Amino acid sequence: MMSRTLLKLNSPVTGYRCPSQQLVGLSGSRSFGAKSSLPRSVIVIRNSTNSAHQGNQPLGLLNFAASNFLPLALIGGVALGLANPTLGCLAHRYHVSKISTFGIFIISGLTLRSEEIGAAAKAWPVGLFGIASILLFTPFFSRIILQLHLQPQEFVTGLALFCCMPTTLSSGVALTRLAGGNSALALAMTVISSLLGILIVPFSISKLIAGGVGASVPADQLFKSLVVTLLIPLILGKVFRESFKGVADFADRNRKLLSNLSALLLSLVPWIQVSRSRSLLLAVKPSVFLVAVVMGALLHLVLLCFNAVSIQILCAVSGGSKSVFAKKENASAVLLVASQKTLPVLVAVVDQLGGTFGESGLLVLPCVAAHLNQIIMDSFFVSFWNKKEQ
């Protein structure tokens, strides 16, 4: 009777069933007693619990890595560039960053559904505000930055120039897709603001920073680069999707895989940038560079707050919860895209300016940190949003 009771106690907890030979031994009066049965059952329970806990540890790490894949990939790229810049410099020599951007927009075209294009067209007021924020509103924050006093002065001027740049070419779109936002709207804002930026950026620099000093932007070179790295791969990806049904089915079934691949391609950009700037990073005093990093992070937070408050105001005056600004997909797209600034365009502008505003390397250095800050910060924000939704 007591052996049956013990079996009922053990089975639901441990899933363990004694072999038939052990059942005979347990039922015997000489080999079985009340004192010996309880410790034996407790030992089995404790061992099973420990093994289950040990088995859950790798699963917990894998789940954490999967839910935070983008920030971990970006931080890994930065760490790799600081540890060994040789491979990153070699990758820059062979234009890997352009290839990675090409790949990101190929993926964007493959995953771009036709109904998303329609949703982007309906959200044209949101896109219009996003473009205005990128090219007209946020550049005015450069005036505030110029009031700061920091040595070397190029750090302040570099961040002010950074404010006048268009949005990032790939990270804003990739993050919008990971956040479940309106990726077609993000694409439209990125392409249009980048093309218009070729005309507006020189004017912004001249009026807001240079005080009337002429500033030129390599318009032809930038225009060709935008067409090759943004428009052509986007169109190719969309054409492949619409031409072959198998491609569309594959892209829809494997959106998570393609998003992780896009995040991996995006992590190559900071890896290359840090590798190229490693010598400058090590040459600057850590305390001064830390101040520049904090300034870049604060700048991005200010831009996020400005765009978030602007979206709330526009939502309130245009219909409340029924407004196109109230849709989470549109709001996340404009918040992420309009709050970021691009580094490659800044580098091209600084090269063309020569020594007008100071040493080129010192101008670019805080912007590299600011560029990395905004991507890493936004990737954590996106991970937090996704966890909150789940």
Asked if 102 contacts 234 with a C-beta cutoff of 8 angstroms, the reply is no
- Residue (of 260, 274, 259) closest to 91 by Cα position: 274
- How far apart (Å, rounded) are the C-alpha atoms in residues 117 and 191? 14
Q: Which of 277 and 261 is assigned the larger pLDDT?
A: 261
Tokens of 221: 């070179």
- If you average pLDDT over each of 148-162, 207-221, 222-236, 265-279, which comes out highest? 148-162
- How far apart (Å, rounded) are the C-alpha atoms in residues 267 and 246? 29
Domain limits of the chain? 116-219+278-389
- Is CATH 1.20.1530.20 what the domain over 116-219+278-389 is classified as, yes or no? yes
Model confidence band, residue 5 (pLDDT cutoffs 50, 70, 90): very low
- In the block, residue with structure tokens 């070729």: 198
DSSP string, 148-175: ---SSHHHHHHHHHHHTS---SSHHHHH
Lowest-confidence region among 56-65, 122-131, 252-261, 296-305 = 56-65
- How far apart (Å, rounded) are the C-alpha atoms in residues 244 and 33? 72
Residue 81 predicted with pLDDT over 80: yes
* Contacts for 349 with CB less than 8 Å, ≥ 6 apart: 161, 165, 201, 205, 215, 217, 218
Mark 232-259 as b/e (b = at least 16 C-beta within 10 Å).
Answer: ebbeebbeebeeeeeebeebeeeeeebb
pLDDT, tens digit (0-9, with 9 covering 90-100), for 24-64? 333 344 444 444 444 444 444 444 444 444 555 666 677 76
pLDDT, tens digit (0-9, with 9 covering 90-100), for 111-137? 877 777 777 788 888 889 999 999 999
Question: What local confidence, expressed as pLDDT, does residue 212 receive?
Answer: 46
Residue 301 predicted with pLDDT over 90: yes
> How large is the average pLDDT for residues 321-328?
82
> How large is the average pLDDT for residues 149-159?
81
Looking at every residue in the chain, the average pLDDT score rounds to: 75
Percentage of residues in the chain having pLDDT higher than 90: 8
Question: What local confidence, expressed as pLDDT, does residue 111 receive?
Answer: 81
Question: What local confidence, expressed as pLDDT, does residue 302 receive?
Answer: 92
Question: What local confidence, expressed as pLDDT, does residue 58 receive?
Answer: 66
Task: Please state the pTM of the whole predicted model.
Answer: 0.65
In the 8-state DSSP scheme, what is residue 211?
T
DSSP string, 243-271: H-HHHHHHHHHTHHHHHHHHHHHHHHHHH
In the 8-state DSSP scheme, what is residue 84?
-
The packing angle between helices 34-67 and 2-14, to 10°, is 10
Lowest-confidence region among 52-66, 143-157, 335-349 = 52-66
Question: What local confidence, expressed as pLDDT, does residue 133 receive?
Answer: 92
- Residue (of 197, 188, 190) closest to 219 by Cα position: 197
> How large is the average pLDDT for residues 56-76?
70
pLDDT, tens digit (0-9, with 9 covering 90-100), for 374-383? 888 888 888 8
- How far apart (Å, rounded) are the C-alpha atoms in residues 244 and 255? 17
Question: What local confidence, expressed as pLDDT, does residue 129 receive?
Answer: 92
pLDDT, tens digit (0-9, with 9 covering 90-100), for 211-249? 644 555 556 666 777 677 777 888 898 899 888 888 888
Question: What local confidence, expressed as pLDDT, does residue 233 receive?
Answer: 85
Asked if 106 contacts 237 with a C-beta cutoff of 8 angstroms, the reply is yes
Question: What local confidence, expressed as pLDDT, does residue 224 receive?
Answer: 74
Question: What does the angle CA 331 – CA 234 – CA 352 come to, to the nearest 5 degrees?
Answer: 85
> How large is the average pLDDT for residues 187-192?
85
Asked if 313 contacts 133 with a C-beta cutoff of 8 angstroms, the reply is no
Question: What local confidence, expressed as pLDDT, does residue 290 receive?
Answer: 84
Asked if 81 contacts 372 with a C-beta cutoff of 8 angstroms, the reply is no
